[in-house]
Structure 1
Amino acid sequence: MAEVYTHLIAYLFKDEQREQSFELTDAVLPAHVAALHLLQLHFGDGENSLIMPTADSAPDEIMQQALLLGISDIRSQPAAPV
């Protein structure tokens, strides 16, 4: 079984400071992957699926979409094994 890591993400959502943790199998979490998880968290329901980045979106496109939807200043703390 793959090792699982807890990633703590600090970010701004519509200019409000927030934190979220994700348990993932990757030890390193690039900013665009964190942004994708945050987009899914905030906008992943069926009504908003059209604003989600596509599977083949480039990292900079994901970051731009997050910024347009009010997610910015994404910072990830080093992962800790679960």
Structure 2
Amino acid sequence: MRNYTIEYLFNGESRTHQLALQQSKLSIHDAAMHLLELHFGDAENSLIMPTADSTAEEILEQAGLVGITQIDVKDAGAD
């Protein structure tokens, strides 16, 4: 497992989220998808979530529309 720290702004407020994943690299758009799920995954309006075939640009655009911006992924290494 690799540990990742995601630093980002949520509605202009600085936030940090940590993930432990099997994958060896976490892209910005994958991090954005995790953050969308974190903040809106249980929302009644599923239209907030990008579709399965969304491009990286579309995922980042959707994240920005709901207030998730300036995403930075830091690889904290393996367990």
- Shorter-chain TM-score category? over 0.9
In structure 2, what is the Cα distance between the partners aligned to 1:7 and 1:14?
22
In structure 2, what is the Cα distance between the partners aligned to 1:18 and 1:80?
20
Contact 1:53 1:65 in 2 (8 A): yes
**Which structure carries more strand by proportion?**
2
- Where in structure 2 are the equivalents of 1:2-81 lying within 5 Å? 4-81=1-78
- TM-score using structure 1 length: 0.91
Letter in 2 for 1:70: G
- TM-score using structure 2 length: 0.94
Structure 2, unaligned runs of 5 or more: none
Structure 1, unaligned runs of 5 or more: none
Find runs of 4+ consecutive structure 1 residues off by over 4 angstroms.
Answer: none
Letter in 2 for 1:49: S
Give the paired residue count.
79
Q: CA deviation at 1:78?
A: 1.8
Contact 2:2 2:75 in 1 (8 A): no
